[in-house]
Structure 1
Amino acid sequence: MPHLLAGPAAEPLTPADLKAFLRVTHDAEDGLLALLITTARQMVESAAGRILLRQSWRFVFDSWPAAGLLVPALAPVEAILAARLRHADGGESALAPDLFTLRGDRAPALIAFDPPRMPRPDRALGGIELDLALGYGAAAAAVPADLVQAVRLFAAHLYERRDEAGGDALPSGVAALLAPYARVRL
């Protein structure tokens, strides 16, 4: 399970952008619009398996895969920030970055390593931690336009139906924009 360490510094669109899209001319709901943008971004990221703006995430593993490949559940991966072993006694040991080769330009990303060179964790569960920088970049301009549009449409959907409780289905327009990002298993 990935764990968020640090969220994005900004959102893929501003409350002013959403206000223009919604044709809202007052400032009374700017706080609500900012919250809806954040919620919509998180929902789009979850549905697409793509992190839009640079964030730091921790991935925890119990053991090294014999094939020498780690496949993070989220994409795109910009960099490996840190790697460490957690020990049974509560201590930790940093792992050298040159033990890993990152192919973050693909989805899913691949992190390759040489299994014989990897130290074995002495902790049965969660002994391996990788901190990764995920996202298309720090600026909203780096995010693909279709994903920004999905956030815009979903935020508008949430705004227009803010008095409704529940509802877990993505609007059809949002789902159509996210369809090309779906991971297909054969």
Structure 2
Amino acid sequence: MYLIEESQIPDTALPVARLRDHLRMGSGFVEDGLQDELLGGFLRAAMAAIEARTGKALLVRDFLCSLHRWRDVTGQVLPIAPVRAVTQITLVDAFGAGAVVDAARYALVADGDAPKVVPMGGCLPSIPEHGSAEVRFQAGMAEAFGDLPADLAQAVMLLAAHYYEYRDETALGQGCMPFGVTSLIARYRPVRIGFGT
């Protein structure tokens, strides 16, 4: 299974001015927007890191999930939440020819942690041998950054500011995330039950 982001968050949706204020950068100068591109990059990196830790898409966009087999033919869990709509399922054969599955044959079971596609009959449609199923869907918690829950928005600001402040630091351990950020996102992290995989 692999997940592809088919549409990106537009630059205009990034809260660059809010991050500039958070960092207490000076204003009223000719160079006011000089670091906007850099700040936008740190915001994107912070959002990506938080999405990876929580399994949740922060801002709404389109995704493609490609699978070579259904994990469970009675319902396939999608790799990111919350899913707003499944827009299309295509069965692709070994030669790359695709056939769109009738939308009446499946439905979305919305869930904050493990949304899934379920069949309207007994099983999801068979994936061709050496082929794949491409599930296109729209996922995200909010349309705009200002509509995110306050704790997640603050976590993004803190992490982007951390990346900005330590942009030249190379000695930090891999996966290092400030405690304030981890505590803010803790309730959004998926719960793992049991041992092993």
The TM-score normalised by the length of structure 1 is 0.90
* 1:47-89 superposed Cα distances (whole Å, 9 cap, x missing partner): 1111011111111122234451111121110111111100112
Match of 1:179 among 147, 161, 186: 186
Q: Which moved more, 1:111-120 or 1:31-40?
A: 111-120
CA RMSD of superposed structures (Å): 2.0
Q: Is the 8 A contact 1:11 1:53 kept in 2?
A: no
2:89 is aligned to 83
Letter in 2 for 1:148: A
The question of whether the paired residues in 2 share the 8 Å contact of 1:18 and 1:152 is answered with yes
Match of 2:134 in 1: 129
Partner of 1:156: 161
1:34 CA displacement? 1.3
Question: TM-score, structure 2 length as denominator?
Answer: 0.85
Q: Which amino acid aligns with 1:52?
A: L
Letter of the aligned partner of 1:158 in structure 2?
Y
Secondary structure of 1:6's counterpart equals: coil
Aligned to 1:34: 40
Does 2:30 match 1:25?
A: no
Aligned letter for 2:163? L
Identify if the C-alpha distance between structure 1 residues 105 and 142 changes in structure 2 by more than 3 Å, giving closer, same or farther: farther
| Per-residue deviation, 1:10 | 5.0
Identity %: 29
Question: How many aligned positions are there?
Answer: 185
Aligned position for 1:5: 6
Higher alpha-carbon deviation: 60-69 or 172-181: 60-69
What is the alpha-carbon distance in structure 2 between the residues aligned to residue 66 and residue 146 of structure 1?
34
CA distance in 1, matches of 2:11, 2:75: 32
Task: State whether residues 102 and 112 of structure 1, in contact with CA within 8 Å, keep that contact through their aligned partners in structure 2.
Answer: yes
Structure 2: distance between partners of 1:151 and 1:40: 6
5 Å-filtered alignment, 1:64-75, equals 64-75=70-81
